[in-house]
């Protein structure tokens, strides 16, 4: 029986609180996400010690090993999946509930990381609103648990049979080589052209983190008191450096993951010896309330994210009001404690066979969850909106050049080029209305998340947007001179880095260079962005039906971003600012105009809204291009 270490529960408390603070607001603790990596090291250490002790004494059994994992991990997980699905049935739009159901099925099969590595896109529900996104890390651990015991046994028997010497030393050398190869592969892969946002979730870039824990489980125990204390201090310092120096834009995992992983490993290793007792770090991490948080850390990790995701889905913004958080955090802690006390502890102590655990705690709940999700999906009522209210149009050249790209007066040459990202695509119908009124035709080509300024760094974009963005950039740079005018607009706050997603850090100077280059031969008309809404009118319709009346405040990011872009435009000759704000604000009252939805999310006009914007623009006597 492995000796209980309360300091490891203290380390769990640090890890889960780091993740919690980061998820409450990433600006409060930029590197808080590394708490997950600390969990990986703890898991790798404990599992490796268990396997090694049982293999060396001839007591290891795969069935017993997986029975313990089932009892420990699955009951709290399935409880969270159940209530997440139930809440989603009431609170999510039908298409968002469909995605939740898919993620639930993958989570039940320990494949959530694979699902979320392929799920996502510019118009999908935002990552901070996906209730089961955090299950990716549990899937990593479960996949590791399937592979590592077999690898360990094979290596152990090979070393025992064909090599002489200390087995622990040889095991440590083997794992050290695996850790080195893993981090090297991870770093080079992240730096390659193949890397994308999806690799963050993949086992092949994460297994080395769990093996760091295994490495410190196999090293000889520290025998010097002061050395043990220094090792734990070094571990805390490295973890703290990771929390403060890394952020969501850091290249990760890769070499940067060594900060939390080595930090956690050194902390655990320093505490392996009895000599560590009484040290300042050890005493701090063994404090009663710190250990208490560590004991409920698994349940707290499971529950905190769905609570935040649903609150953000309702409120419509990443930054939640302080009053909401003051209610949410105690609720998370309470439900985590109850889950730990009545589910986690009781199931962990069940004295059942592997077959019973497999059937009663894994297979039956997984099948029941899938059946429940499918049933809820079948009976969830549709909101039945007109399709034209749910997009900016399907027959548009967005990400390709093979659909209907022409807007405006037909049967005249296309002498105007309109380009930009999805906010430009949302103005296809606007350009059609204004072009017909002013007597010109425009060639409208756009790309998801892509503002085609010269030298735009498309590597910051989601993988699916990179190649279309490259082609759009090439077209604009090559062919803009064949047009009499260029119309340019984008999701300015996104491109300036004011949204949670990554952005080109040099976007503003690149935009100015692009506008100056084009304007040297061709007049450019830069459109302001439309106002953003606190939450999409589609969600408002659902919340109204549920009786959820919430006071929301728009962040004003569109207005602030417009002002920054206008400053650039005003100092460049032959570049003209076109302010759509006075007209567009008529559509921004809860995203409705004359009783119909004018937006399909909180920042994109739909076909009806774009058409109405064009008609109002013309009716009020505005012109986009001079006669």
Averages of pLDDT over each 10 residues, the chain, 627 residues: 87 98 95 97 96 92 94 96 96 92 94 84 64 96 96 91 75 94 93 71 93 95 89 96 92 94 96 85 94 97 97 90 95 97 94 94 95 94 80 89 92 94 96 96 94 90 88 94 96 88 88 96 96 88 87 82 96 96 89 89 93 96 92
CB 518 within 8 A of CB 576: no
Q: What is the pLDDT of residue 555?
A: 65
DSSP state letter for 419: E
Q: How many residues does the chain have?
A: 627
pLDDT of residue 123: 36
Residue holding tokens 């989570």?
107
Q: Which of 472, 456, 501, 461 is nearest to 398 (CA)?
A: 472
Return the residue matching tokens 């043990």: 228
Q: How far is residue 191's CA from residue 92's CA, in Å, rounded to a whole number?
A: 37
383-385-386 Cα angle (round to 5): 165
Phi-psi region of 164 (alpha: psi -120 to 50; beta: other; left: phi over 0): beta
Please state, in angstroms and rounded to a whole number, the distance separating the CA atoms of residues 274 and 258: 26
* pTM, two decimal places: 0.85
Q: How much is the pLDDT for 124?
A: 43
pLDDT at residue 165 in the model? 62
Contact 509, 571 (CB under 8 A): no
DSSP assignment of 475-502, as one string? HHHHHGGGSSEEEEE--HHHHTT-SSS-
C-beta separation of 43 from 331 below 8 A: no
103 upstream amide cis, omega within 30 of 0: no
How far is C-alpha 359 from the geometric centre of its chain's CA atoms?
33
Q: Are residues 42 and 264 in contact, defined by beta-carbon separation less than 8 angstroms?
A: yes
Q: What is the pLDDT of residue 386?
A: 79
Q: What is the pLDDT of residue 358?
A: 95
Contact 139, 113 (CB under 8 A): yes
Sign of the dihedral defined by the CA atoms of residues 21, 22, 23, 26, in that order: positive
Spatial CA neighbour of 551 closest among 308, 320, 331: 320
Q: What six digits make up the tokens of 199?
A: 């690799």
C-alpha to C-alpha distance for 589 and 591, rounded to whole angstroms: 5
Residue 416 phi/psi, 5-degree rounding, is -125, 135
First to last CA, the chain: 86
CA dihedral 232→236→241→243, nearest 10 degrees, is 150
Contact 257, 186 (CB under 8 A): yes
- Between strands 397-398 and 406-408, the pairing is unpaired
């Amino acid at each position: 029986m492995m000796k209980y270490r309360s300091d490891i529960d203290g380390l769990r408390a640090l890890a889960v609180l780091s993740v919690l603070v980061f998820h409450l607001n990433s600006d409060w603790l930029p590197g808080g996400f590394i708490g997950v990596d600390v969990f990986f090291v703890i898991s790798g250490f404990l599992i490796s010690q268990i396997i090694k002790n049982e293999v060396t004494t001839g007591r290891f059994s795969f069935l017993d090993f997986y029975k313990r994992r089932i009892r420990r991990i699955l009951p709290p997980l399935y409880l969270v999946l159940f209530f997440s699905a139930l809440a989603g049935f009431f609170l999510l739009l039908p298409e968002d509930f469909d995605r939740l159901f898919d993620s639930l099925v993958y989570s039940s099969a320990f494949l959530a990381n694979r699902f979320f590595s392929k799920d996502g896109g510019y118009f999908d529900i935002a990552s901070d609103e996906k209730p089961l996104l955090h299950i990716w890390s549990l899937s990593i651990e479960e996949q590791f648990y399937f592979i590592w015991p077999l690898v360990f046994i094979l290596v152990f028997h090979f070393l025992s049979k064909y090599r002489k010497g200390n087995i622990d030393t040889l095991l440590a050398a083997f794992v050290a080589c695996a850790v080195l190869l893993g981090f090297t592969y991870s770093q080079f892969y992240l730096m390659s052209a193949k890397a994308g946002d999806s690799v963050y979730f993949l086992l092949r870039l994460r297994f080395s983190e769990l093996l760091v824990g295994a490495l410190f489980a196999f090293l000889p125990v520290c025998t010097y008191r002061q050395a043990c204390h220094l090792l734990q201090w070094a571990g805390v310092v490295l973890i703290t450096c990771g929390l403060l120096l890394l952020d969501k834009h850091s290249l990760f995992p890769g070499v940067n993951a060594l900060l939390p992983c080595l930090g956690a490993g050194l902390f655990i290793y320093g505490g392996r010896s009895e000599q560590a007792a009484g040290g300042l770090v050890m005493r701090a991490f063994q404090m009663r309330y710190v250990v208490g948080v560590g004991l409920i850390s698994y349940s707290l990790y499971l529950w905190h994210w769905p609570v935040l995701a649903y609150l953000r889905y309702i409120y419509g913004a990443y930054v939640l009001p302080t009053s909401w958080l003051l209610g949410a955090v105690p609720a998370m802690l309470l439900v985590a404690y109850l889950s730990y006390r009545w589910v986690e502890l009781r199931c962990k102590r069940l004295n059942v066979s592997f077959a019973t655990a497999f059937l009663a705690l894994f297979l039956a709940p997984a099948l029941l969850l899938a059946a429940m999700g499918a049933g809820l999906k079948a009976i969830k009522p549709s909101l039945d909106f007109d399709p034209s209210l749910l997009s900016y149009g399907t027959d548009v050249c967005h990400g390709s050049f093979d659909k209907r790209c022409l807007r405006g007066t037909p049967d005249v040459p296309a002498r105007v080029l309109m380009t930009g990202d999805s906010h430009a695509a949302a103005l296809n119908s606007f350009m059609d209305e204004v072009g017909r009124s002013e007597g010109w035709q425009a060639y409208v080509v756009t790309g998801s998340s892509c503002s085609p300024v010269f030298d735009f760094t498309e590597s910051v974009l989601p993988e699916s947007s990179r190649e279309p963005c490259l082609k759009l950039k090439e077209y604009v740079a090559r062919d803009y001179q064949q047009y009499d005018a260029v119309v340019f607009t984008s999701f300015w706050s996104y491109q300036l880095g004011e949204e949670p997603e990554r952005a080109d850090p040099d976007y503003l100077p690149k935009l100015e260079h692009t506008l100056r280059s084009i304007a040297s031969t061709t007049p450019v008309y830069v459109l302001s962005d439309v106002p953003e809404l606190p939450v999409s009118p589609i969600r408002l319709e659902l919340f109204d039906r549920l009786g959820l009346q919430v006071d929301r405040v728009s962040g004003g990011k569109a207005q602030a971003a417009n002002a920054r872009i206008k400053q650039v435009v005003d100092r460049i000759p032959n570049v003209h600012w076109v302010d759509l704000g006075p007209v567009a604000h008529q559509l921004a009252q809860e995203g409705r105009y004359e009783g119909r939805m004018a937006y399909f999310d909180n920042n994109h006009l739909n076909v009806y809204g774009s058409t109405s914007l064009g008609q109002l623009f013309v009716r009020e006597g505005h012109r986009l291009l001079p006669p």
